[in-house]
Amino acid sequence: NAGVMQNPRHLVRRRGQEARLRCSPMKGHSHVYWYRQLPEEGLKFMVYLQKENIIDESGMPKERFSAEFPKEGPSILRIQQVVRGDSAAYFCASSPFGATEAFFGQGTRLTVV
Amino acid sequence: ILNVEQSPQSLHVQEGDSTNFTCSFPSSNFYALHWYRWETAKSPEALFVMTLNGDEKKKGRISATLNTKEGYSYLYIKGSQPEDSATYLCAFVEDDKIIFGKGTRLHILP
C-alpha cells in the first residue's frame, strides 16, 4: 500500500507565477489535510478536505490560495501569483476517517525567486 | 484559533537518561490528542492517538499519558537512545481538524 505521495518534491517559481502542489492520499483515505511549515515554526493548519468538499479552510489565506480534492485524482493546493513569503514546505496528510491518525507525505518545498 | 502549546521547545538529554515533555491544549470540547515523531529529512509519523481521560499508551521505551480535564499530555522516553533524536509533535483534534503544536526538539547526546 503506497503511502501519501506528494509531488513535486521541490518547486521553484518566480514571483507572480502559479504553484500547483499535488497530494495523492493513501488508498482508502478520503480525508486530506494541508499544512505549511515555515522556518522555526511547526506545522500550521491550512485546509481540511474530504472528497469533493472543503470542510475547513480557516487556516488558508483568503487571497491567492485555493485547494480542491476532486472525486478522481489527487488533491491540489494552488497558489496564484506567488510572492517570496510563500516560500515554505507544504505537507499533506491523509486519514481514513476524520481525526484519526494522519499519514504524511514527504512534503513539497516551494521556493519563490 | 485554538492553542496547542508544547514545552520545552528544545531539549538535550544524555544517552541513557530518561526524559519527558509536555503538551497543553484546551480542556473544553476534547475529542482526541495525537503524538507524532518527526525525524530530520522524513515526514511525521504517528506514535499515539489518545481519546480518553486517564489514557496511558506505550510503545517500547516511549509512553504517553493524557489528562483531558486539565488539558495536558506528557510524553515519556525511558533510557534515551541516539535514534530518539527527533522533533515530537502533539496535535489536538477539533471538529475533525488536526491542529499541531510547534513541537519539542529532542537531541540525544552520546
Residue type, B67: N
Confidence of residue A70 (pLDDT cuts 50, 70, 90): very high
**B93 vs A99: CB contact, 8 Å cut-off?**
yes
How many angstroms away from the CA of A69 is the closest CA of chain B?
16
**B46 vs A103: CB contact, 8 Å cut-off?**
yes
Cβ proximity of B48 and B39 under 8 Å: no
- Distances in Å between the Cα of A59 and the Cα atoms of A43, B6, B93 are 11, 20, 15
Q: What is the pLDDT of residues B18-40, one digit of tens each?
A: 999 999 999 888 889 999 999 98
Q: Could you identify the residue written with the cell 494522519?
A: A102
Tell me the C-alpha distance between A93 and A105, whole Å: 6
Q: What is the pLDDT of residues B49-99, one digit of tens each?
A: 999 999 999 999 999 999 999 999 999 999 999 999 999 999 999 888 899
Which residue, B84, B46, B48, B52, is CA-closest to B66? B52
Residue type, B93: V
Closest partner residue to B98 (CB to CB) among A33, A58, A107 is A33
Chain A 34-93, residues with CB within 8 Å of chain B CB atoms: 35, 41-45, 48, 55-56, 58, 91, 93
